[in-house]
Structure 1
Amino acid sequence: MNKRRRRTLLLLLLAAAVLAAAVLAVRSAKNRRSQDAAESLVSSSGMISDGAAYKSISYHNGSATLSFALNKEGAWYWTDDPDFPLNQDYLIQMTNTLSTLKPQQTITDGGAPEDYGLSEPTRTLSATASNGLLTTLALGNATSDGNSYYMLMNESETPIFIISGELVKEMSVGIYDMLLLPELPALTEDRLGTVTLTGAVTTELSAFRAQAQPDEGGDDSSPESGGSVTWLCNGADVTGDEQVQSVLEQLSKLRLDACVDYRPSDGAAALCGFDEPAATVTVSYTGDGNTSQTLTLTVGNPVLGGDGRYVRVNDDSTIYRIGEDKLDALLAVAGSGLDTASSGD
């Protein structure tokens, strides 16, 4: 072997040695990072020491990717739509779960990541603390009892942790389930003025209040001031009508159950029956400060594959859901009128 070949061979051997040293250094760094992660998880403060708060969270739950961040006022918002009325409780709960997360068990030499569904995890999460620290989690298979999950932290392949299923449960909540539902006004009988139910026919119920006597006290101009209430339909007294009483009871308990579509397309609205609604309920009532207010509830088709009806509130394009049993009296009168009084067209 001549000098040139020996020199080439030495250079190749030297390069191989450098590469091997680099690989060992990377592995050592990963091992140190894994050890730091393990120590962080078993510390009294949970994953993030010193109680550091999070400023952003992004995760994929197997079917959708959701990202959230804190605004200047310290409120969480959905980054895809900052105007989305996000219920803060969901993100507060998730940050609490993350900041107190501890392993139920730590596996250091019990198999490869693929044995636990961690080679290609279907659930991942990244969270950035206010101090800039980025934490990433990869969640694999559920344990045999289904109550816990295998997890890797910060892109390390070891150790493998077992954590409770609480985080997976919180990540599985859909974005529409995080919407803060608008609170409908208290439509108690003492606040109602007129109730108009429109469907196949139109029925208008009007409240007539006898003025309170002076010795009863109160402001005679306010519905809350006292005096009896008589309900009229086309001039007829229908106060004792069972249908009327059922309508008044349902109005007093009217609440939205869930959001179905936050920004629906015209096609989605038509599919839900809002081109030809089953009923439109318009209520005039006395609001706070003795002001005159109006609520309009538009009732569409029955919910596909579930219980309830699609509804809209006032001019809000969002589609909500209300249980059928909370609307059946309103729908019956809108469709057929009252049995004891003729209804106008």
Structure 2
Amino acid sequence: MNKRHRRTLLLLLLTAAVLTAAVLAVRSTKTRRSQEGLGSSGSTSGMMSESASYKAISYHNGSATLSFALNKEGAWYWTDDPDFPLNQDYLIQMANTLSTLKPQQTITDGAAPEDYGLSEPSRTLSATASNGQLTTLALGNATSDGNSYYMLMNDWETTLFIISNELVKEMSVGIYDMFLLPSLPTLTEDRLGTVTLTGAVTTELSAFRAQTQTAESGEEATPEDGGSVTWLCGGADVTADEQVQRVLTQLTTLELDACVDYRPSHGAAALCGFDAPTATVTVNYTGDGNTAQTLTLCVGNPVLTGDGQYVRVNDDTTIYRMSADKLDALLAVAKSGLDTATSEN
């Protein structure tokens, strides 16, 4: 081998050495980044810092993008509408899930993101800790048993993780499913005054209380104290009427099932039947502190899919859903009145 050939070989060897060093440096950097995210020991016992508290969470679940943040009082809110009555439990649970996220398995050798649905992931999440540190997650395909998902963290393409499906399930909850439903007043019979059911006909039920005994406090006795109540309709005693008893039972168990539309347009409200309601239920009752209160329940059309009716409460424009078994007695009397009493047309 002449001098020229030896020089060429030496240059080739030097070039190969430089390239090898560069590759090792890149791998070392990615490994160090992974270890920094997993802990200084490189252990995967806890991917996220268990002591981390998050101030912002944003994610895309395949169909919608939702973003949440903490306000000055430490309460979570939906950034698209800070006034949205958000059920805090959902975000508290998600923050806890992130803080304790642990891999079921780590894949480091020959892992190609595209083989796991991670080249263009359908689900992504970013979480900002209170110290400003940003963590990003990308979720790919489900495992063969459907109980886990492949995941990339902070764009570390050399390390893939398999995590439980808990985070995916939490990300799949719709925003209206996070709506904190208002509690309707407790309408026990001793609090009820008049009940007006308006539909095709109008029927008014009035409670008449006879002072049969005096409570220990010296105040007039209520049914709960042993007093009696008579229900009148058009001057007739309808206390024993089966329809009246069903109406009273439904009033004492009123409960909203779900939010359908938080800020509905006029067109949406009309589609749900609120231009010409099916029925209006007005209840005058005694509230806390012996104050006179009124509950108005406006019932629209049957829901387009599933069971129940669209409803509105008092002056709230939000459209809710109530199941049919919570309304059928009220709607029957609003439509046809009582069989045993006079109804006003």
TM-score (norm 2): 0.90
The 8 Å contact of residues 218 and 225 in structure 1, kept in 2 or not, is answered as no
1:58-69 correspondence runs (5 A): 58-69=58-69
Identify the residue that residue 270 of structure 1 maps to in structure 2: 270
Does 2:277 match 1:255? no
In 2: Cα distance, 1:50 partner to 1:276 partner: 54
Identify the residue that residue 106 of structure 1 maps to in structure 2: 106
Q: CA deviation at 1:220?
A: 1.6
Does 2:308 match 1:308? yes
Identify the residue that residue 3 of structure 1 maps to in structure 2: none
The 8 Å contact of residues 196 and 282 in structure 1, kept in 2 or not, is answered as yes
The 8 Å contact of residues 181 and 256 in structure 2, kept in 1 or not, is answered as yes
Identify the residue that residue 12 of structure 2 maps to in structure 1: none
Identify the residue that residue 4 of structure 1 maps to in structure 2: none
For 1:151, the aligned partner's letter is M
Q: Spell out, residue by residue over 1:177-204, the C-alpha distance to the aligned partner (whole angstroms, 9 max, x if none).
A: 0010000000111110000000000000
Q: Spell out, residue by residue over 1:149-185, the C-alpha distance to the aligned partner (whole angstroms, 9 max, x if none).
A: 0000001112110000000000000000001000000
Does 2:151 match 1:159? no
In 2: Cα distance, 1:232 partner to 1:239 partner: 7
Residue 80 of structure 2 aligns to a residue in which SS? coil
Q: Which moved more, 1:165-174 or 1:223-232?
A: 223-232
The 8 Å contact of residues 212 and 221 in structure 2, kept in 1 or not, is answered as no
Q: Spell out, residue by residue over 1:47-79, the C-alpha distance to the aligned partner (whole angstroms, 9 max, x if none).
A: 333512001000000000000000011000000
Q: Spell out, residue by residue over 1:253-276, the C-alpha distance to the aligned partner (whole angstroms, 9 max, x if none).
A: 100000000000000000000001
Q: CA deviation at 1:25?
A: 5.0
Identify the residue that residue 185 of structure 2 maps to in structure 1: 185
Identify the residue that residue 238 of structure 1 maps to in structure 2: 238
The 8 Å contact of residues 106 and 162 in structure 2, kept in 1 or not, is answered as yes
Going from structure 1 to structure 2, the CA distance change for 1:260 and 1:42 (only over 3 Å counts) comes to farther
Identify the residue that residue 123 of structure 2 maps to in structure 1: 123
1:50-89 correspondence runs (5 A): 51-89=51-89
The 8 Å contact of residues 47 and 103 in structure 2, kept in 1 or not, is answered as no
Q: CA deviation at 1:30?
A: 2.7
Q: Which runs of 5+ in 2 are unaligned?
A: 1-16
The 8 Å contact of residues 310 and 320 in structure 2, kept in 1 or not, is answered as yes
In 2: Cα distance, 1:50 partner to 1:305 partner: 42
Q: CA deviation at 1:329?
A: 0.3
Identify the residue that residue 11 of structure 2 maps to in structure 1: none
Coordinate RMSD, CA, aligned: 2.4
Residue 183 of structure 2 aligns to a residue in which SS? coil
Q: CA deviation at 1:31?
A: 3.2
Residue 94 of structure 2 aligns to a residue in which SS? helix
The 8 Å contact of residues 215 and 221 in structure 2, kept in 1 or not, is answered as no
Q: CA deviation at 1:39?
A: 4.3
Residue 316 of structure 1 aligns to a residue in which SS? coil
The 8 Å contact of residues 126 and 137 in structure 1, kept in 2 or not, is answered as yes
Q: Which moved more, 1:60-69 or 1:105-114?
A: 105-114
Going from structure 1 to structure 2, the CA distance change for 1:288 and 1:21 (only over 3 Å counts) comes to same
Residue 335 of structure 2 aligns to a residue in which SS? helix
Going from structure 1 to structure 2, the CA distance change for 1:156 and 1:106 (only over 3 Å counts) comes to same
The 8 Å contact of residues 37 and 48 in structure 2, kept in 1 or not, is answered as no
Q: Spell out, residue by residue over 1:55-109, the C-alpha distance to the aligned partner (whole angstroms, 9 max, x if none).
A: 1000000000000000011000000000011000000000010000000000111
Q: Spell out, residue by residue over 1:219-242, the C-alpha distance to the aligned partner (whole angstroms, 9 max, x if none).
A: 128776552000000000000000
Residue 93 of structure 1 aligns to a residue in which SS? helix
Q: Spell out, residue by residue over 1:8-42, the C-alpha distance to the aligned partner (whole angstroms, 9 max, x if none).
A: xxxxxxxxx99998787555433321333344895
Q: Spell out, residue by residue over 1:93-129, the C-alpha distance to the aligned partner (whole angstroms, 9 max, x if none).
A: 0001000000000011143101000000000000011
In 1: Cα distance, 2:306 partner to 2:244 partner: 28
Identify the residue that residue 5 of structure 1 maps to in structure 2: none
TM-score (norm 1): 0.90
1:201-212 correspondence runs (5 A): 201-212=201-212
Q: Which runs of 5+ in 1 are unaligned?
A: 1-16
For 1:117, the aligned partner's letter is G
In 1: Cα distance, 2:201 partner to 2:143 partner: 58
In 2: Cα distance, 1:42 partner to 1:323 partner: 50
In 2: Cα distance, 1:313 partner to 1:162 partner: 46
Residue 260 of structure 1 aligns to a residue in which SS? strand
The 8 Å contact of residues 238 and 341 in structure 1, kept in 2 or not, is answered as yes
Going from structure 1 to structure 2, the CA distance change for 1:58 and 1:18 (only over 3 Å counts) comes to farther
Residue 280 of structure 1 aligns to a residue in which SS? strand
In 1: Cα distance, 2:262 partner to 2:82 partner: 13
